[in-house]
């Protein structure tokens, strides 16, 4: 009961959910019960006590000049239409005033975060347009680098002297202009997915707190997408926040080894998907859906996720951590986190770990609100 009251009385914010790109644009309707098909739908957002959800505006490297920006606009149109059809359940949140109103009226506050700088197509005008349409953060890169920022994926390959899509690491002069323009607009600079050099270049340029909207700790799980200790300290010094990703592969250091065995066992099935020229993340989703019992055995304990949270708290303090689930953008989450409806489980676990009510409220949403307020115009 104490957990339920605390969760209900807290402002709960999730900074990253991919249901738009992985469900809505594929013909699924999040206004219906999508249990067993997705991690998210409107009823389950409510059951999970989520007050503010940042919906990811996403497309992958198959979109570029002439297509990426328009694809982003279509996803924004989709979310706007969903909100318009459900004015009693949802509202768009573009400002602190909107956020407070959504909480007061007990509606799901729908925010937009653009996941991938390639969607501005090297044009500051497109960045401005996305802001006007409600985008309140931009992830500088996805796995694919842009002409002006190198991704963690590409920097890792370059460091390993393997073929990479980049010749130089970090932000170009234009990339630095992008960060400055985001500061001017009041758009949060998101450093999830970016390479280390891009990360430090952006931190040096930004005069506002930054975020990592869906990342975890490299020292606990050495994945290129996770943050090393010096990066975590830099975000703390900047006043920013790291929002923890629920993806099993980012929290469990044994996951990739176990997943490799799973993949090898079903190589024939995967080869058939490869012939369709699908991206790896879509293949992962098809694989886990096809063999659910085996996939279930790969899911780590939720305690591992909380270990990442504890680690960040010990390193830079409780003011710099939050939740960025990546639901509907990941094939497997930890046990007991089957979807957005299970967010109260995290509150229960934080109580068990000895966090105070004040600190739990910060983790659940207070830290996001602080940064959003600091960055907003």
Q: First CA to last CA across the chain, in angstroms?
A: 39
Host domain of residue 281: 261-298
The number of distinct structural domains making up the chain is 2
pLDDT band at 137 (very low <50, low <70, confident <90, very high): very high
**Band of the pLDDT at 163, cuts 50, 70, 90?**
low
pLDDT digits (tens, 9 = 90+) for 185-223: 999 999 999 999 999 999 999 999 999 999 999 999 999
Residues 277 and 135 in one domain: no
- Give the pLDDT band of residue 292 (cuts 50, 70, 90): confident
Strand blocks (E) in 47-174 = 52-58, 90-92, 108-115, 135-139
Please, what's the b/e burial string for 150-187 (b: 16 or more CB within 10 A of its CB; e: otherwise)?
bbbbbbbbbeeeeebebeebbbbeebbebbebbbebbb
Would you tell me how many other CB atoms lie within 10 Å of the CB of residue 197? 16
Lowest-pLDDT range of 145-159, 207-221, 311-325, 357-371: 145-159
Judgement on whether residues 292 and 340 belong to the same structural domain of the protein: no
CB-count burial class (<10 Å; 0-12, 13-18, 19+) for 261: exposed
Do 202 and 176 lie in a common domain?
yes
Domain C-terminal end among 277, 298, 319: 298
Residue 246 near residue 325 (C-beta atoms within 8 A): yes
Q: Are residues 351 and 337 located together in one domain of the fold?
A: yes
Residues 266 and 315 reside in one and the same domain: no
Q: What is the pLDDT of residue 162?
A: 62
Q: How confident is the model at residue 161 (pLDDT cuts 50, 70, 90)?
A: low
**Range name among 187-201, 280-294, 296-310 with the lowest pLDDT average:** 280-294
244 and 332 together in one domain: yes
Give the pLDDT score at 2. Answer: 66
Q: Which of 171-175, 217-221, 275-279 has the lowest mean pLDDT?
A: 275-279
Burial of 77: CB neighbours in 10 Å, binned 0-12, 13-18, 19+: exposed
Q: Please tell me the predicted confidence (pLDDT) of residue 164.
A: 65
**C-alpha to C-alpha distance for 376 and 94, rounded to whole angstroms:** 9
Q: Is the pLDDT at 259 greater than 90, yes or no?
A: no
Judgement on whether residues 339 and 282 belong to the same structural domain of the protein: no
Mean pLDDT of 156-173: 79
Give the pLDDT confidence of 15-33 residue by residue, as tens digits. Answer: 999 999 988 767 899 999 9
Q: In the chain, pLDDT over 90 holds for what percent of residues? A: 82
Q: Based on the domain organization, do 173 and 272 belong to the same domain?
A: no
The dihedral through the CA atoms of 329, 334, 335, 336 has a sign that is negative
Q: What is the mean pLDDT of residues 66-79?
A: 96
pTM exceeds 0.85, yes or no: yes
Q: Once rounded to an integer, what is the mean pLDDT over residues 345-366?
A: 97
* Helix pair angle (173-185, 196-205), 10° resolution: 50
> Does one domain contain both 287 and 148?
no
Which string of DSSP letters, residue by residue, matches 138-153?
Answer: EES--SS--SSB-BHH
CA distance 138 to 94: 14
Mean pLDDT throughout 354-362? 98
- Note whether 234 and 118 are same-domain residues: yes
Are residues 348 and 314 part of one domain? yes
Whether residue 24 is found in the same domain as residue 46: yes
Percent composition of the chain: helix, strand, coil (DSSP 3-state, to 5): 50, 15, 35
Rounded to 10 degrees, what is the CA torsion of 10, 11, 15, 17?
Answer: 90
Mean pLDDT score of the chain: 94
């Amino acid at each position: 009961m104490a957990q339920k009251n605390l969760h209900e009385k807290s402002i709960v914010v999730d900074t990253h959910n991919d249901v738009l790109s992985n469900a809505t644009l594929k013909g699924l309707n999040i206004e219906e019960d999508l249990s067993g098909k997705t991690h998210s739908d409107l009823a389950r957002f409510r059951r999970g006590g989520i007050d503010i959800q940042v919906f990811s505006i996403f497309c992958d490297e198959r979109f570029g000049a002439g297509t990426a920006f328009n694809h982003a606009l279509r996803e924004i149109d989709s979310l706007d239409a969903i909100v318009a059809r459900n004015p009693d359940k949802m509202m768009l949140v573009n400002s602190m005033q909107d956020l407070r109103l959504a909480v007061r009226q007990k509606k799901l506050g729908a925010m937009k975060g653009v996941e991938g700088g390639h969607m501005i197509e090297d044009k500051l005008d497109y960045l401005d347009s996305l802001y006007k349409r409600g985008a309140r953060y931009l992830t500088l890169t996805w796995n694919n680098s842009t002409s002006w920022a190198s991704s963690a994926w590409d920097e890792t390959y370059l460091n390993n002297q393997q073929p990479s899509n980049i010749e130089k690491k970090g932000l170009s002069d234009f990339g630095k202009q992008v960060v400055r323009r985001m500061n001017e607009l009041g758009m949060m600079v998101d450093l999830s997915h970016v390479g280390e050099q891009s990360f430090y270049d952006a931190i040096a340029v930004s005069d506002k707190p930054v975020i990592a909207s869906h990342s975890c700790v490299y020292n606990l799980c050495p994945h290129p997408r996770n943050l090393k200790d010096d990066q975590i300290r830099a975000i703390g010094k900047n006043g920013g926040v790291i929002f923890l990703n629920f993806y099993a592969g980012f929290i469990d250091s044994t996951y990739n080894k176990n997943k490799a065995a799973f993949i090898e066992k079903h190589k024939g099935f995967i080869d058939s998907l490869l012939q369709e020229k699908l991206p790896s993340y879509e293949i992962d989703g098809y694989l886990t859906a096809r063999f659910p019992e085996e996939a279930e055995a790969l899911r780590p304990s939720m305690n591992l996720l909380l270990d990442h949270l504890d680690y960040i708290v010990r390193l830079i303090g409780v003011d710099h951590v939050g939740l960025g689930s990546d639901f509907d953008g990941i094939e497997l989450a930890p046990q007991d986190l089957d979807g957005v409806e299970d967010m109260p489980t995290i509150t229960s676990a934080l109580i068990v770990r000895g966090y105070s009510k004040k600190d739990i409220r910060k983790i659940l949403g207070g830290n996001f609100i602080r940064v959003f307020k600091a960055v907003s115009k």
